[in-house]
Copies of this chain bind each other. A is one copy, B any other.
């Protein structure tokens, strides 16, 4: 049989994938400037030569890592299934799923933080990422429309605002856990806090959208 064997010694796909995987860890851990090409090579079965063979430069490797990470995240977003729920529960569930999602993709969070330090210059160099629409915005918009129509939501807010509010909470809890922990002595990643904060983000966005008119 001439089918590609799992044990074959030369396998472009596999080598490329391994480089991306190891590189993501290294970049997430040390930032762009702090990441070492030699270190990435040392953690692989292959050599530094291959990194340049497949990606050309440290920067293009970094961009490839970003593209892969964003692609995976988008895939998860696409599978969020909350539209069968009533608006209040739909938006609460979406917030909690976003929370779980941030909780589960810490390396991605770090890459985003790193990219912001560099003012997103690498994302802007990538045609793939620059044109990456986000289906979650459409989803939020439909939920908001539905909630406004039924009168459950009274606060005027657009989908981007709501997405931002949810993301801010979830992102901060993961991205800033270290300085927050050092300064306030609270580990936001610990199970007991994690569970409470998860409920909090749902309550927060629902309360906000239901609006202030409670003394009516």
Contacts and interface: CB of A to CB of B under 8 A. Distances in A.
Interface of A: 30-34, 110, 112-120, 123-124, 129-130, 132, 134, 137, 155, 157, 160-161, 163-165, 167-169, 171-173, 175-184, 186, 188, 196-197, 200, 203-204, 206-208, 210-214, 216
Contacts of A32: 31, 34
Contacts of A182: 120, 123-124, 129-130
A184 B134 contact: yes
24 contacts: A31-B33, A110-B117, A112-B176, A113-B113, A116-B175, A116-B179, A119-B178, A120-B182, A123-B178, A123-B179, A129-B183, A134-B183, A134-B184, A155-B207, A160-B184, A160-B186, A161-B200, A163-B184, A164-B172, A167-B172, A168-B173, A207-B207, A207-B212, A213-B214
Q: How many copies does the complex hold?
A: 2
A39 to B, nearest CB: 12
Interface centre among A112, A113, A204 (most CB of B within 10 A): A204
Given A134-B183, A171-B168, A212 B212 contact: no
